[in-house]
Amino acid sequence: MSFPLTFAILLLLQCSTTILAQPAAAPAPAGPTNVTKILEKAGQYTTLIRLLKITQVGDQINTQLNNSNQGMTIFAPTDNAFSALKSGTLNSLNDQEKVQLIQFHVLPTVLSTSQFQTVSNPLRTQAGNSNGGQFPLNVTTSGNSVNISTGVNNATVANTVYTDSTLAVYQVDNVLLPLAMFGPKAPAPAPGLAKKPEKKSGATDGPSSDEGTADASGTSELRAKGLVVGFVALVAGSFL
């Protein structure tokens, strides 16, 4: 075998060995969790998606899910649930109240359906204080049924929209209304006693001029009567 042919064969074998020795490419990482995309794929959550976007709560949820090990549970009202609200309810809320309304549907831990049977009430939500009577959320179960009470209204978990190790999304048939925002308002404080009218300039605490005149005339009358009685007694004494 000629030298050029031998060299070529050896070179080909070396290249083949190098190619086979290279490690296989790693699989592409899964995309980050995006709650709005999950809801879009499920359908019938247009209003909730809009509120998640305008309040930026959706971005906060995505950031937390993708940058920490803390899980979350989301109660997702359908478009029909929002349509059942009293007309003008959402429009009557200011920006901060809309944020709190959506946060009230988010628990800062992931719960499976079986865990609802053992959780302690009231559940803590992203909206704030659950023990002070502002944002209480209580869950009860009956068989496979999960019921939610806010102190204002009730809702039922209809089905599971999405679940993994860090996120659980459950469809609910009513919008959860926080007690602090939709509960009975505290009665207005009783009005204070009316202020005593201020005295006019120059007025005194003494009797009025009319009262002074009446007192003076009464005194004069008594004096006159006394003089008459005295005179009569004097005259009568002179005849004795």
Buried b (16+ CB within 10 A) or exposed e, 153-179: ebbebeeebbeeebbbbbbbebbbbbb
Nearest Cα to Cα of residue 153 among 170, 171, 131, 172? 172
Instruction: State the pLDDT at residue 197.
Output: 57
Between the alpha carbon of residue 177 and those of residues 89, 105, 127, 183, the distances in Å are 11, 9, 11, 8
Instruction: State the pLDDT at residue 70.
Output: 85
Instruction: State the pLDDT at residue 225.
Output: 54
Q: What is the pLDDT of residues 82-109, one digit of tens each?
A: 999 999 999 999 999 999 999 999 999 9
**Is residue 42 very low, low, confident or very high in pLDDT (cuts 50, 70, 90)?**
very high
Please check whether residue 222 lies inside any domain of the structure. Answer: no
Instruction: State the pLDDT at residue 9.
Output: 56
Instruction: State the pLDDT at residue 193.
Output: 52
Q: What is the pLDDT of residues 142-186, one digit of tens each?
A: 988 999 999 999 999 999 999 999 999 999 999 999 999 998 876
Q: What is the pLDDT of residues 5-36, one digit of tens each?
A: 555 555 555 544 443 333 343 343 457 889 99
First to last CA, the chain: 191
Q: Residue 57's domain spans which residues?
A: 35-182
Collect all residues with Cβ–Cβ distance below 8 Å to 231 and sequence separation of at least 6. Answer: none
Instruction: State the pLDDT at residue 69.
Output: 85
- Count of structural domains within the chain: 1
Please check whether residue 233 lies inside any domain of the structure. Answer: no
In this structure, are strands 138-142 and 106-107 parallel, antiparallel, or unpaired?
A: unpaired
Please check whether residue 66 lies inside any domain of the structure. Answer: yes
Residue 90: CB atoms within 10 Å: 16
Region 210-239 average pLDDT: 50
Please check whether residue 64 lies inside any domain of the structure. Answer: yes
Region 46-60 average pLDDT: 97
CATH of the domain at 95: 2.30.180.10
Please check whether residue 160 lies inside any domain of the structure. Answer: yes
The C-alpha atoms of residue 32 and residue 29 are separated, in whole angstroms, by 9
31 close to 38: Cβ distance less than 8 angstroms: no
Please check whether residue 215 lies inside any domain of the structure. Answer: no
Please check whether residue 229 lies inside any domain of the structure. Answer: no
Encoded amino acid at 181, one letter? M
User: Which position has the higher pLDDT, 164 or 209?
Assistant: 164
Please check whether residue 162 lies inside any domain of the structure. Answer: yes
Residue 132: CB atoms within 10 Å: 9
Nearest Cα to Cα of residue 46 among 84, 19, 83? 83
Between the alpha carbon of residue 196 and those of residues 35, 58, 175, 184, 203, the distances in Å are 63, 57, 51, 35, 15
